[in-house]
Amino acid sequence: MLTIRETGGFNYDLSVYPNFDNDNLPSAGINFVRFHLCTDSDSQLETFNNKFPLRNYGFAISESSDSGPTGDIAITYAANAVDGPYYSSAGVEQTNGSFEITKSTPFNTYVGEVLWSASQIVEGTFSVTLKNLADENDIIQITDGEFKMIPSM
């Protein structure tokens, strides 16, 4: 039986980073905060495809995998991957914010009948307010955002 824990957990952080030959381009990411709270990696692999159900998700108060609410989302953005400024949705009041997974499809790799790696094609929509980590008066609002990504183990 899985017991929900108050501390510890795993985040699934997916991001787009520029070519390492030119780090001065923007980067962005979606962090699935504390989406796994089991105690060992084997059970994480076995249950991975159940982690991204179709529904609306709340926004995380922090990106910590150590404590806090489970199953929330944090979105990050940097105008310049190296020098910033850096923006995050974590801890920002999301009055009109939303994050919804609208499609979630297993995309696993098997060797024979053994599950070798677990992946999931996840699609959805979002609206979010991001705050500059160095200047709380500098915000970015994204409306009608869409995503398609493949978290994997």
Lowest mean pLDDT among 7-21, 46-60, 126-140: 7-21
Task: Supply the pLDDT for residue 68.
Answer: 60
In a domain, 1, yes or no: no
Domain that holds residue 92: 10-149
Which pLDDT belongs to residue 141?
96
pLDDT at 5 (0 to 100): 44
pLDDT, residue 3, reads 36
Neighbouring residues of 66: CB distance < 8 A, sequence distance ≥ 6? 7, 8, 9
Total of domains in the chain? 1
Residue 2, in any domain of the structure: no
Look at residue 9 in the predicted model and tell me its pLDDT: 66
pLDDT of 43 higher than 70: no
pLDDT over 70 for what percent of the chain? 83
* Range 143-148, long-range pairs (CB < 8 A, 24+ positions): 147/30, 147/122, 147/123, 148/121, 148/122, 148/123
DSSP 31-46: EEEEEE--SSHHHHHH
Alpha-carbon Rg for the chain in angstroms:
16
4: in domain = no
Q: Write down the pLDDT at residue 63.
A: 73
Q: Give the list of residues 6+ apart from residue 40 with CB closer than 8 angstroms, or none.
A: none
pTM: 0.83
Which pLDDT value is given to residue 153? 79
Measure Cα distances from 71 to 9, 52, 57, 61, 84 in Å. Answer: 10, 9, 7, 11, 27
The yes-or-no verdict on residue 92 having pLDDT over 80 is yes
126: closest CA among 32, 9, 18? Answer: 32
Report yes or no on 25 lying in a domain. yes
Looking from the CA of 57 toward its CB, the CA atoms found within 13 Å total 29
